[in-house]
């Protein structure tokens, strides 16, 4: 069976889940409003909400997730030829989290790639792993995705003065990392085969649906001299997201069914794009299009942790995926409108 062989997976969510009561209390929101309109029940933060102390870096979370994936696969770190790590929120610009993670795992001599990406990042990283293994299928690679929003989470600000758009971000997002060990050939204990891994730009000429800035010394010093901060670091066009994500997800679903030749009734599970808990639930039922596809989501419990999401969904899928069963993965990145997806199939008995 050709494709990318999934040998094991792991994840790392920092600390205890933060519920809506706790978060609403901290942000001065109504938890009922969060439950009803957002539908995300819990999320995890790498920063302590009371002290403001950063307890985990992205590197910490990615290393924990990778360690667990290697243990799950029964793979020694010395077997790993490359790492592809996807994130929108690296700990620093240099060195990369991918290189530091590889060093912590003892992968001397390995190739360490870091992809800058959003919600399509895990699939971009899987597509690269697929290409790297196609040439050398005997090798094993590590795909990691994660995000940490600590740097953009200003806990000392007056949340009562924030506009609703900015408040929503604090409710939607969460921190975490996921990892999978992949190979170019099946091994004893292979969990699933990923096929037709693709991602493509799908919004020609459209303005970005999301922007996330970073600041340098010049902006920081300028703000200090003038006493005024620059514009908001995170901006989203929620109307555009609500309008375009379902369109792109449907197009991706149809492409995957056509490319795989799978009759829809042979698919058992759907891993839908992860937005808010509420939008994801609605989108999943639209995308099932009348078929008995069981949705596999995580965002209502993990919050939107970007590049980790697809890997966390895969981790939840595997125990449910009986021999020979099939699933579809769909992801949409609203930053510059990318649609992405892949097929998943469990080995036959």
Residue 9 and residue 344 in contact, taking contact as beta carbons nearer than 8 Å: no
Q: Is 80 a binder of a second copy (CB under 8 A)?
A: no
- How far, in Å, CA of 240 to CA of 209, rounded? 6
Q: Which is nearer to a second copy, 196 or 269 (CB)?
A: 196
Q: Is 88 a binder of a second copy (CB under 8 A)?
A: yes
- How far, in Å, CA of 248 to CA of 199, rounded? 11
Size of interface with a second copy, in residues (CB under 8 A): 74
For residue 344, the cross-strand partners are: 194, 327
- How far, in Å, CA of 64 to CA of 177, rounded? 8
Q: Determine the length of the chain.
A: 349
Shortest separation between residue 60's beta carbon and a second copy, angstroms: 16
Q: Which is nearer to a second copy, 68 or 170 (CB)?
A: 170
Beta strands 326-333 and 267-271, pairing class: parallel
Closest CA to 194 of 26, 91, 321: 321
Please identify, among the stretches 62-70, 154-162, 308-316, 317-325, the one whose residues bind a second copy according to the rule CB under 8 A. 154-162
Q: Which is nearer to a second copy, 198 or 315 (CB)?
A: 198
Q: Which is nearer to a second copy, 106 or 263 (CB)?
A: 106
Q: Is 50 a binder of a second copy (CB under 8 A)?
A: no
| C-alpha radius of gyration, the chain, whole number | 20
Of the residues 51, 93, 164, 290, which one makes contact with a second copy according to CB under 8 A: 93
Q: Which is nearer to a second copy, 73 or 148 (CB)?
A: 148
347, two tokens: 């080995």
Q: Is 112 a binder of a second copy (CB under 8 A)?
A: yes
Q: Which is nearer to a second copy, 6 or 98 (CB)?
A: 98
Q: Is 200 a binder of a second copy (CB under 8 A)?
A: yes
34, two tokens: 């969060």
Shortest separation between residue 223's beta carbon and a second copy, angstroms: 6
Residue 84 and residue 144 in contact, taking contact as beta carbons nearer than 8 Å: yes
- How far, in Å, CA of 81 to CA of 343, rounded? 24
Of the residues 164, 205, 261, 323, which one makes contact with a second copy according to CB under 8 A: 205
Shortest separation between residue 86's beta carbon and a second copy, angstroms: 10
Q: What is Dmax (Cα atoms) for the chain?
A: 67
Residues 156 to 185 in contact with a second copy, rule: CB under 8 A: 156-157
Q: Is 103 a binder of a second copy (CB under 8 A)?
A: yes
- How far, in Å, CA of 314 to CA of 333, rounded? 18
Please identify, among the stretches 64-72, 96-104, 188-196, 291-299, the one whose residues bind a second copy according to the rule CB under 8 A. 96-104
Of the residues 30, 36, 116, 285, which one makes contact with a second copy according to CB under 8 A: 116
Q: Which is nearer to a second copy, 68 or 199 (CB)?
A: 199
Residue 123, CB half-sphere, CA atoms under 13 Å: how many? 29
Q: Is 143 a binder of a second copy (CB under 8 A)?
A: no
Q: Is 151 a binder of a second copy (CB under 8 A)?
A: yes
Please identify, among the stretches 99-107, 238-246, 295-303, 312-320, the one whose residues bind a second copy according to the rule CB under 8 A. 99-107
Residue 184 and residue 136 in contact, taking contact as beta carbons nearer than 8 Å: yes
Residues 221 to 260 in contact with a second copy, rule: CB under 8 A: 221-225, 227, 229-230, 232-233
Q: Which three-class secondary structure string do you get for 165-199? A: HHHHHHHHECCEEEEEEEECCCCCCCCEEEEEEEE
Residues 314 to 343 in contact with a second copy, rule: CB under 8 A: 335-336, 338
Q: Is 102 a binder of a second copy (CB under 8 A)?
A: yes
Q: Is 135 a binder of a second copy (CB under 8 A)?
A: yes
Residue 97 φ/ψ region, left for φ over 0, alpha for ψ in the -120 to 50 degree band, beta for the rest: alpha
Of the residues 155, 240, 259, 281, which one makes contact with a second copy according to CB under 8 A: 155
């Amino acid at each position: 069976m050709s494709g990318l062989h999934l040998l094991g997976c792991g994840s790392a969510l920092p600390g205890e889940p933060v519920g809506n009561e706790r978060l609403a209390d901290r942000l001065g929101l109504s938890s009922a409003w969060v439950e009803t309109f957002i539908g995300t029940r819990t999320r995890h933060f790498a920063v302590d909400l009371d002290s403001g102390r950063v307890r985990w870096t992205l590197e910490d979370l990615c290393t924990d997730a990778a360690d667990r994936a290697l243990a799950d696969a029964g793979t020694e770190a010395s077997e790993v030829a490359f790492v592809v790590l996807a994130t929108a929120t690296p700990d620093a610009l240099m060195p990369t989290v991918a290189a530091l993670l590889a060093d912590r795992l003892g992968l001397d001599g390995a190739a360490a790639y870091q992809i800058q990406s959003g919600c399509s990042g895990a699939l971009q990283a899987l597509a690269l792993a697929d290409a790297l293994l196609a040439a050398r299928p005997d090798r094993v690679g590590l795909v990691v995705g994660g995000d940490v929003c600590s740097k953009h989470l200003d806990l000392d600000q007056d949340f009562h003065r924030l506009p609703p758009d900015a408040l929503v971000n604090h409710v939607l997002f969460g921190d975490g990392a996921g990892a999978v060990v992949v190979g170019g050939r099946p091994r004893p204990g292979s969990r699933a085969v990923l096929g037709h891994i693709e991602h493509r730009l799908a919004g020609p000429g459209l303005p970005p649906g999301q922007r996330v800035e970073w600041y340098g010394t010049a902006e920081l010093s300028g703000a200090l001299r003038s006493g005024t901060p620059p514009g908001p670091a995170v901006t989203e066009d929620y109307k555009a997201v609500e309008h375009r994500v379902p369109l792109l997800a449907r197009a991706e679903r149809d492409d995957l069914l056509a490319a795989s030749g799978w009759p829809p009734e042979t698919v058992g599970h759907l891993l839908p794009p992860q937005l808010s808990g509420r939008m994801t639930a609605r989108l999943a039922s639209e995308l099932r299009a009348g078929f008995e596809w069981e949705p596999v989501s995580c965002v209502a419990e993990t919050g939107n942790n970007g590049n980790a999401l697809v890997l966390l969904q895969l981790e939840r899928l595997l125990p449910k995926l009986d021999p020979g069963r099939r699933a579809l993965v769909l992801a949409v990145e609203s930053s510059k409108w990318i649609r992405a997806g892949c097929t998943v199939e469990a080995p036959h008995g």
